[in-house]
Structure formats: structure tokens, C-alpha cells
Amino acid sequence: MKTKTMKLAIVLAAVATAQMASARELKIPQMPSSTGQEQVVAAVPPAQINPAEYGLEEADENAARAAITEAQDKKTVQPLQPKAPASSASVASGGAKQKEPVADPKGTQDLVQVSGGGRANDLQAVPASVAKGAAPEAAAEMVASLVDVVVQPGVNTIIPAAINHLNRIVTPFEKPIVQTTSNPKDYTIKENVIYVTANDETPITMYITPKEDESVAISLTLAPKKVPPIQANLVLGQAPGSGGKAGGLSGAGGYRYSGQAKKWEEGQPYMESIKGIMRALALGGIPKGYSMGKLASTDTLPACYQDGIQFDFSRSQLMMGHNFKVLVGVVRNTLNIPVMFDETSCTHPMLAASAAWPRNMLEPGDKTEVYIITRVGEAPADESARPSLLN
């Protein structure tokens, strides 16, 4: 048996030697030219080997060939099995793919091995939260640093305040007086402005009154928060149950305290005060020192009439100063043609000025605001004289 195996090996070696001997030098054909000619290299026939020359029979030759075929089959490379397609969640930004999360050896967080997008194995493992994309942070609550606050005598008003910052409170009083249980060092008064500092989140309560007059008091509660410094402009509103009169002060047309308005009105010429009131109203503001309220039953409405124009004072705004009172209404064009609004179409016994904004020429169906400024009469004395029986 060993002799046959040695003879089989000799035959295989002889076959390989014969094939190498029969090989010829292969000449590489030249590239075909533009004429389309092709060169063909003739195949070299394999050399015939006689097994009898090596002392083998035909059966031994067949066994040798079967052994060679079996060895070649074992060397054949098996085709690779196709991988399952990656899910959409395994694709990271930029076209790179992610592998399954691998356990962190320290047990602190899951890691994701990122591959692709460059040379192989040139990317480090990153936290899974980074690969998936961190959720956007919630937007911080926006707080306006400049607010107009309508306050009513007898009603406590809560406004925000910044912690460890100066907060500015603009009062309608010329010389305000503050009554509070907080440390007096936490606030200072400059003319009609109060500067307050909140050192912690404890609410600060205070009463603000005009100097030498305790009939009107503004009740405030400052709620400290982690916000920028706050400036609050206090605007006096109508006191509840006053019927257009505020804080115990009476007078024609619902007169209320207006010390700052008096200083502003009398500190300039008459016409400049009228222009300043109109300018503030057109810009959507309130004249300096004026207070807002609702139209009372005792207030006198202006008499207005114009063809094709409808006047509406049912939802009117009332603003009180010291020498002037402002009434804001709405007018609308009811015709099918444009109409020029006549500002002289409104009259009042105490009329000072009237104007329309933002337009005077009204197209069909258009609306605009109308401002009626009236003068405020002298307030009657608190104690009336006894009428004489002789008259």
C-alpha cells in the first residue's frame, strides 16, 4: 500500500513537470488599432502522459485523478451569507451605520460602535445618547422686563421681581410713601420711582400712598423670581364700586388722584399738552400720570353726527388726567363709497380737541379710532354752603 502511494505521488509530480515543460512563452497581443484588427493566441494542447512509463495501471490513474478533484473541492471558497439589512435606527447622521450597543466595561453607559464614512476601524465608540441625538432643551420662560400694570385702589396686585437685582417701580404719585414690613434698606425712593431689591424668594408686600394723602393706596405684592430686572409702570385704574370715582376722591367726571399728571400738564404750554396726549394715544401708550378706567354713568358722552359714519362709544376707553380727560371711541364707514371723516362732527361742552387715528379717509367698511379730549372742571368743595332761606 505504501508503494502505491509513493507511485501515485510520483505520477502527480510527473504530470506537473510535463505541464510546465509543455508551456510556451505567452506573447501579449497588442491593443487593437482603429482598423479593428484582432490577434488571437492559439491554445497550447496539454501534454499526454503514459502511466505505464511510471509502473502504474489505468485504475491507479483514475484514483489519482479522483484524489486531485476531491482536494480542489475542499479548497473551494464557500460564498458568504448575506447579512440582514440594517434598520433605519442604525443609520447615524452623515450616512454612517451603527452597530449594536456594546456594554460599557465600567457599567456607566451604553456605547455604540460607529463604522463607515472613512477608513475601516478609524472611529471610536461614542455614547448611545450622542449617536441618537440629544433632545432639545426646553425653552426658558420669557418674562418681559418692562410691563404696564393697571392697579386699583383696594385691590392687591401681584407683579414679578428679580432676585438680587434692582427692580424699578414707577408710581403715578409725585412723592410716593412706602409702608412695608421688609427691611428699609431693600428699597429707595427717587422722585416718583421706587427701587426694590429682593434678596430671596420671600414675597414683598407694600402699600404706596401719595404724600400727605392717605385716601388713595396702592397694594402691591412682589413675587421674586430668577428673571432679569423688572420695571413696572403703575397706572391707576377705576376703583371697584366707585362708579367712576377712585380712592375716595370725588369730582366732576370721576376725578381721581393725578399729582404727576398735573405736574406734566402744567409744566408745558397748553397746546404742547394736547399734542403730547394725542401722540401718546396714537403710539398705544398712556399720557404721563394718567390713569385708566371705565366709562361711568355720570360721564357725559360727546354728541357726534356725520352722514355715512357710525359712532360707537359702548366699548370706549377712559383716561383721566388732572386738567384733561380723554375718551376713545370707534367710527366706521357704512356707505359703499370712501368717506373723509370730519373731526369737527363731534362736540362737547368741555371739548378741548378731537382727532382720528390711524386714518381719516375711510373705505367702505373701514374703521378707525377717534380721540375726544375734554377739560375737567373744578372739583366741588367737600362741604357745601347752606342755602339761604331768604332767597
Q: Is 274 exposed, middle or buried (0-12, 13-18, 19+ CB in 10 A)?
A: middle
Bond preceding residue 358 cis, omega within 30 of 0 = yes
Average pLDDT over residues 218-246: 75
Which pLDDT belongs to residue 273? 93
Which pLDDT belongs to residue 95? 45
Q: Is 246 exposed, middle or buried (0-12, 13-18, 19+ CB in 10 A)?
A: buried
In order of start, what are the domains of the chain with their CATH numbers? 93-128 (no CATH), 146-236 (2.60.40), 259-375 (no CATH)
b (16+ CB within 10 A) / e for 58-78 = eebbeebeeeeeeeeeeeeee
- Express the helix, strand and coil content of the chain in percent, nearest 5 each: 20, 30, 50
CB 196 within 8 A of CB 131: no
**CA dist., res. 289 & res. 328, Å (int):** 18
Grid cell in block for residue 46: 496539454
CB 322 within 8 A of CB 260: no
Residues 6+ apart with CB under 8 A from 146: 231, 233
Identify the band that residue 210 occupies on the pLDDT scale cut at 50, 70 and 90: confident
**CA dist., res. 244 & res. 255, Å (int):** 8
DSSP code at position 24: -
For the segment 365-381, what is each residue's pLDDT rounded down to a tens digit? 999 999 999 998 654 44
Which pLDDT belongs to residue 86? 47
Average pLDDT over residues 70-89: 53
pTM assigned to the model: 0.44
Identify the band that residue 286 occupies on the pLDDT scale cut at 50, 70 and 90: confident
pLDDT at 243 over 70: no
For the segment 16-28, what is each residue's pLDDT rounded down to a tens digit? 665 565 555 556 6
